[in-house]
Chains A and B, each alone.
Chain A
Amino acid sequence: MSDAAFLDHGTGPGCRDVRQERGQREVFCGLTSIVWMHRKIQDAFFLVVGSRTCAHLVQSAAGVMIFAEPRFATAIIDERDLAGLADLDDELDRVVGRLVERRPDIRLLFLVGSCPSEVIKLDLSRAAARLSTRFMPECRVLSYSGSGIETTFTQGEDNCLAGLVHEMPREAAGAAPSLLVVGALADVVEDQFRTLFAGLGIADVRFLPPRQGRSLPAVGAGTRMLLAQPYLAETARLLEGRGARLLPAPFPFGAEGTTAWLRAAAQAFGVDRGRFDAVTGPGRARAQAAVARRGADLAGKRVFFFPDSQLEVPLARFLARECGMEPVEVGTPYLHRQHLAAELDMLPAAARIVEGQDVDLQLDRCRAARPDLTVCGLGLANPLEAEGFATKWSIELLFSPTQGYEQAGDLADLFARPLRRRALLEV
């Protein structure tokens, strides 16, 4: 905990001082990503194999927001399973059978591992293979881990997508280069990017995850991959293993991030500068104007990030460079130095980067720093507000369309609103 070591790494491009902390975390586990993944892949169902806690977690994180019948559920392991009175494989087969019967529209079923299933070493990949044989071709069954002992929050998406990589068809040898955008984006954002890429003349653009789990894009040596999210370490690694080439870029937040992200693709596909400027110019100008409108609320304000989604570094970069904010501390549960290299270079040197968490120590630092805006999870937001800190609850940053030119103003507004609100209230 607090006496655990924190290490300073050497300096250099993409390799700046990072404080590492080990202690109590206040971060969701990877199961939480089911909340947006089940909306993104519309023919998929997510079955957590875990405890009542897992069911309660997903419900508490999501239940307040979702009123349609969810396409997720929990197979709750009970005493009989643990005591060996019930055969776990049989039990799982029975539960999945009941589920598939109830939801015959499901084409892709994920068995999602949890802390308890990991600890008792329940082999879900084997179970998935067995069940897939039983339910194919109507329904494919895959597995991945969203357990809190292995994943935080957004890493659940990474593991889920990594599970899909194995299933992606192989691109025919010698196929023309194609662009693969990796990471769940709001449908509206995806459509906007598709239009921009078409304008740039990049016709063959694929997205992972696809909106339908049964139509997975092909991957091969011609695949150029652009990460839409900074937390996809495992997925990117596996895609590279299948021949895809990573296009290093900052992430598409704000006018600057979006332009640099699009440029990485444009350069890889040989789009000439004139065309690039012509296609991106209008969106870029709109984004700059929209961000500028919120600028007054944000400029000169100090912001403190608690670790949550791994979006913290790109967001801090956006707030610093386009909104004139001063990031005091940028906490992130995990820092992928390679994928974030461009982002780290753009982050002001004064911003303290902290990987991992010891929440009590971090709260001490936050109180000492007295930032104008604190970005944190749902467990901390109201207590910090009650202490007089303006907060932005970070889950909204994942659940709102924030990437791309047309959302840049909305993104700035998400941070500006808590400050504007405080100014409005007279009681």
Chain B
Amino acid sequence: MQLTLWTYEGPPHVGAMRIAASMTGVHYVLHAPQGDTYADLLFTMIERRDSRPPVTYSTFQARDLGGDTAELFKTAARQAYERFRPDVMLVGASCTAELIQDDPGGLARALALPIPVVPLELPAYQKKENWGAAETFLQLVRALAAPGARAERSASVSSRPPSCNILGATALGFRNRDDVPEVRRILERLGIEVRVVAPLGATAADIARLGEADFNVVLYPEIAQRTADWLKRTFGQPMTTVVPIGVGATRDFIAEVKTLAGIDKSFGREQTRLPWYARSVDSTYLTGKRVFVFGDATHAIAAARVASRELGFEVVGLGTYSREFAREVRAAAAGYGIEALITDDYLDVEAHVASLQPELVLGSQMERHIAKRLGIPAAVISAPVHVQDFPARTSPQMGFEGANVLFDTWVHPLMMGLEEHLVTMFRDDFEFGEGRAPSHLGHAPAPAAPAEVQATESPAAAAPAAGSPVPWTLDAEKELRKVPFFVRGKARRNTEAYAGTRGIALITVETLYDAKAHFGR
């Protein structure tokens, strides 16, 4: 049993819904009690979808449990077929139906519907949303991908341009909607034909054609890695390994697809401003800003790379809730000399952020919330999604335009260089005051800042920040208050670490400045 205040991922059947809702002609019949229909609002409200997700629920109640819940499921499946006439049907159980063991797959088979029916086994007490989406996509592809497709590819290999599929984009994915056109543009500019994009926007017939392409582009490994592995084993299609988030990764991605496609065409001019913006002098103030990164594995790993190598931040924390990709995230974290945080416990993440006192948090909406409470600037880089993650404008994360978006989104919450200096020089200015937010953000993190000040003053609240902090004299505490709030946490931590390593029992004003000299760049 796990105590959960907030969860990063829904149950696995929600992942299956995301696959069904991504495609056309696919209908999902879910054996579930009435409350489970809440999941529809994820699509209709968060994503502002203009139609109901293609899901029919059997809606059993307590009084049905002694009776024939299996019959209810069969009726639901039969009526869903008659009403929606899908090309393929997914059938499965939600957590409660899993317990009553009605076997939706067997029941649906008994109906002998004239369409492919794909039974889903999604263990709800073991697995989560992204796994459910990955498994559903894999089972759909296994059921529908036509074995003949590969033969067709071999037959026409010389007469056609190189081709690929784009795999992994789904409904409710973080900016997937805008990433796909961006990546497609890159591929087409290289003269590579995009055969199928799946699951987002695909039909059952598209899935059947997957084997015709020369290789697969895996945009989101959480969703598409297992399917791409299967396609490789079955059709011999190689796949990409680089996710094109950031300028460097996009260049690597271009190099990788050129190899896979066997072409040597120049990409030409990159429509990117990030490299210049990062070099322009006003970006100097970004140097070494301490950043905490958390999200799904794909976005977290990519964000850490961009933060570190393209914006000159220091990555002080990196983690993921995608346990399936813990190994990859651990390896990435090791590259920054830190240990990865692998957890789906929101409270662990909160404690970690509080102890690191970063200057910028890059995470999901949940980390944005943590950062807001701690008075730290934040930007959102990953699902779980919020209605704000579906902006009206095009806002990709991938490709060169995606990198431009990252620059704006991550730098915007920070205080700009000259302003930061002025605040440092004139911190007693009555209009600056304590905890002043960047002026262009109006009221943004300011209301939370006093809480941060209080927290650092109360030993109990500060306790998570350090194992056993060395006590401070009153004067030293006062002096620390003169340090601008956005680096105060760092100053406190550095001073305590300095005192700790030197066996100093009480921190004085002297210790504070000794530590400053010691750590000073």
Contacts and interface: CB of A to CB of B under 8 A. Distances in A.
Interface string B25-44: 00000000111111111101
Interface string A1-25: 1110000000000000000000111
A81 B1 contact: yes
Interface stretch (A115-123, A366-374, A413-421): A115-123
25 contacts: A1-B75, A24-B58, A26-B40, A27-B35, A29-B34, A29-B38, A51-B11, A51-B124, A52-B4, A53-B124, A59-B6, A60-B41, A67-B369, A70-B5, A74-B7, A75-B2, A76-B3, A78-B125, A81-B1, A95-B1, A116-B96, A148-B35, A150-B62, A379-B52, A381-B44
B343 to A, nearest CB: 14
A70 B6 CA distance: 9
Interface residues of B, number: 57
B156 interface: no
Contacts of A56: 7, 10-11, 14, 39
Given A115-B96, A150-B61, 16 more contacts: A24-B58, A26-B37, A27-B37, A29-B38, A53-B11, A56-B39, A67-B369, A76-B3, A116-B99, A148-B33, A149-B61, A378-B41, A378-B45, A382-B48, A382-B49, A382-B50
B57 interface: yes
Contacts of B6: 55, 59, 63
Interface of A: 1-3, 23-32, 51-53, 55-57, 59-61, 63-64, 67, 69-70, 73-79, 81-82, 86, 88, 91-92, 94-95, 98-99, 115-116, 118-120, 147-150, 152, 360, 377-383, 385-386
A199 B140 CA distance: 68
Contacts of B48: 382
B205 interface: no
B56 A52 contact: no
Contacts of B72: 1
Determine which residue in B38, B42, B49, B61 has the highest number of CB atoms from chain A within 10 A of its CB, and name it: B38
Interface string B62-74: 1001000000100
A38 to B, nearest CB: 12
Contacts of A64: 45-46, 386-387
A150 B6 CA distance: 25
A31 B59 contact: no
B51 interface: yes
B124 A52 contact: yes
Contacts of A55: 4, 6-7
B5 A69 contact: yes
A60 B124 CA distance: 18
B62 A79 contact: no
Interface in B93-146: 94-96, 99-100, 123-126, 128
> Shortest 9 CB-CB distances between A and B: which pairs?
A29-B35, A148-B35, A379-B40, A386-B50, A91-B1, A115-B96, A51-B95, A378-B41, A56-B10
A52 B1 CA distance: 11
B407 interface: no
A24 B62 contact: no
A120 B95 CA distance: 12
Contacts, number: 185
B35 A28 contact: yes
Contacts of A360: 79, 83
Determine which residue in B2, B124, B128 has the highest number of CB atoms from chain A within 10 A of its CB, and name it: B2
Contact of B35 (A57, A63, A76, A383): A57
Contacts of B52: 379-380, 383
A186 to B, nearest CB: 23
Determine which residue in B13, B72, B128 has the highest number of CB atoms from chain A within 10 A of its CB, and name it: B72
B60 interface: yes
Contacts of B126: 78-79
A378 to B, nearest CB: 4
A265 to B, nearest CB: 35
A184 to B, nearest CB: 20
B200 interface: no
A53 to B, nearest CB: 4
A2 B48 CA distance: 29
A92 B126 CA distance: 18
A8 to B, nearest CB: 22
A130 to B, nearest CB: 15
A53 B2 contact: no
Contacts of A149: 33-34, 60-62, 65, 96
A379 B38 contact: yes
Contacts of B386: 64
